[in-house]
Structure 1
Amino acid sequence: MLRFSQVDVFTDELTKGNALAVVHDAEGLSTEEMAAFANWTNLAETTFLLPPRDPAADYRVRIFTTSRELAFAAPPLLRTGPVENLPALAAGLAIPPDEIVEARWADNGPGWVAVLLRSADAVLALRPDYTRFGEFTGIGVVGPHEDGGDAAFEVRAFVDEDGRFGEDPVTGSLNASIAQWLIPAEIARRQYVAAQGTVLGRRGRVHLSQADGQIWVGGDTVVGITGKVALQPVR
């Protein structure tokens, strides 16, 4: 039996962020066992805490969706550059192409395309047509807030997880890749807060910053469930 927690990330109030599973002391579990458990939880992300390999670290983390392992934090982009087929991208978002200010590949593992719209209100108004996503497996959309509130940008994440389409409440990997675009392009400040999950009744707040050339992703976390899970690592 291993210690288990289910936490709500990127929020300061339980049920308002994104649910994430944490398996503690997971050394000895195989990759296959981790993947199978992550699939079983049916959560957007399941993490496993392991002993560090870097002497400067306190622990090591492996993170899985229901179908694959993800790189942790803000890894280098695997694909960058402008999106050439804007009409197809606009069709997936069910908007005219001229509503897109700019679109770039922002793939740090899950295949993200990042789309900049003129305003947060335009982002919140989106009703995507998943049947027209075509080549796009993950579309992240961002637009600036102009009301002087606690968030500088509104973000939404539309995903295709092995044929299961939907909207992710709050997404660390997407916000990381968006920041890797917006901060160097001086569209965003070197430190800002993004809101996500508003349409879904959530209140996610993701804190992005750039320091020493690195993008850092952070936010509040609330513990919702603690207990034990019947996984048997091989010691």
Structure 2
Amino acid sequence: MMIDYVTVDVFTDTRFGGNPLAVVPDARGIDEGLLQKIATEFNYSETTFVFPPDDPAHTARVRIFTPTTEIPFAGHPNVGTAFVLGRQGAVFGRPVGDRMVFEEKAGLVHLDLLRDGGAIVGAGFVAPQPLAMQGEIDRDMMAACISLAPDAIAMSTHGPRMVSVGLPFAVAELAGLDALASARPNATAFAQAEQRHRSPDDRFSAFIYVRTGDGFDHLRARMFAPLDNVPEDPATGSASAALAAYLVTLDPRRDAVRNITIEQGVEMGRRSLIEVEVRKTNDQVQSVRIAGRCVPVMQGRIDV
């Protein structure tokens, strides 16, 4: 049995930048036990498998795997998978338009394609779950996870804490770009942190950032997930969405629309740009939209 696959770089317009993603556009017939093995073989931060939807009103059912486990939701897999299916033009014999709906373990994900002069250049989507703030994290513990002294973590606006819009992340602001560049994941500390902040959805991971402009409109970030066999991720849409939503809750205005650009992957040589729009009404985050560009890289077949 031969299975077609496509790889794309996500959150970039430059090949070999951004975050690589493997997409299997038709996963019908693949033995359940092979899904994780295929994702482990690619060894990207995520691989997606596309199945027919349970509800024919939707575009597809999408399953997302890291090298070690299946997860309910992630950012760059949604952007990249929509880009691939849009360029393909049809899914399971049905044409796809500029708007899609994916069925995922975290819920329904509503997506729209980005075009430039008629050509499909990327995609955007709305996070499937409302912002959940899942507790504060000890500063010393967070610092140990990223191999920095505790005073490298800024505390003036917020301390480290868990946030999620479908997948949980520990987020923290650092004191400056030097601290961000010096951060390194400590797998032992991550394992200890997971014992105190265990989640049924994914392993403990850290999303750290600094402000590179006035306020929170421009950020530079890094993401470490060594327990998922992802020492560092060059672009993390789900973490960007959760962080941006959380930061907007700190905006004193009861009603606001904030556009936040997050630059990631610079230290890895895979610069990524993630655009996030957060809408808040009556002091409540109503929606979080993540968008970015994509570039096709490879296509081939898997002999299963």
**More strand per residue:** 2
- Of residues 194, 198, 201, the one that matches 2:269 is 201
- Of residues 80, 84, 96, the one that matches 2:134 is 80
Q: Relative to 1, partners in 2 of residues 1:22 and 1:112: Cα closer, same or farther, differing over 3 Å?
A: same
Look up the match of 2:87: none
- Of residues 146, 151, 165, the one that matches 1:93 is 146
Moved more, 128-137 or 30-39: 128-137
Does structure 2 retain, via aligned residues, the 8 Å contact 1:79–1:108?
no
Look up the match of 1:172: 237
Q: In structure 2, the residue corresponding to 1:161 is in which secondary structure? A: helix
Q: Relative to 1, partners in 2 of residues 1:143 and 1:168: Cα closer, same or farther, differing over 3 Å?
A: same
Q: In structure 2, the residue corresponding to 1:80 is in which secondary structure? A: strand
Instruction: Flag structure 2 segments of 5+ consecutive residues without an equivalent.
Output: 76-126, 195-203, 281-285
Q: Relative to 1, partners in 2 of residues 1:79 and 1:183: Cα closer, same or farther, differing over 3 Å?
A: closer
Look up the match of 1:138: 205
Q: Relative to 1, partners in 2 of residues 1:146 and 1:121: Cα closer, same or farther, differing over 3 Å?
A: farther
What is the rounded CA distance, in whole Å, between the counterparts of 2:164 and 2:33 in structure 1?
Answer: 25
Task: Give the drift of 1:227.
Answer: 2.4
Identity over aligned residues, as a percent?
34
Does structure 1 retain, via aligned residues, the 8 Å contact 2:12–2:273?
yes
What is the rounded CA distance, in whole Å, between the counterparts of 2:260 and 2:56 in structure 1?
Answer: 31
What is the rounded CA distance, in whole Å, between the counterparts of 2:20 and 2:48 in structure 1?
Answer: 11
1:30-109 equivalence runs, <5 A: 30-72=31-73, 73=75, 74-76=127-129, 80-83=134-137, 85-100=138-153, 101=155, 102-107=159-164
Instruction: Flag structure 1 segments of 5+ consecutive residues without an equivalent.
Output: none
Task: Give the drift of 1:55.
Answer: 4.6
Does structure 2 retain, via aligned residues, the 8 Å contact 1:103–1:115?
yes
Task: Give the drift of 1:12.
Answer: 0.7
Does structure 2 retain, via aligned residues, the 8 Å contact 1:2–1:23?
yes
Does structure 2 retain, via aligned residues, the 8 Å contact 1:48–1:62?
yes
Q: Relative to 1, partners in 2 of residues 1:55 and 1:25: Cα closer, same or farther, differing over 3 Å?
A: same
1:154-193 equivalence runs, <5 A: 154-161=220-227, 164=229, 166-186=231-251, 190-193=258-261
Aligned-pair RMSD on alpha carbons? 2.8
Q: Relative to 1, partners in 2 of residues 1:75 and 1:67: Cα closer, same or farther, differing over 3 Å?
A: farther
What is the rounded CA distance, in whole Å, between the counterparts of 1:155 and 1:195 in structure 2?
Answer: 6
1:118-133 equivalence runs, <5 A: 118-133=175-190
Q: Relative to 1, partners in 2 of residues 1:185 and 1:37: Cα closer, same or farther, differing over 3 Å?
A: same
Does structure 2 retain, via aligned residues, the 8 Å contact 1:19–1:43?
yes
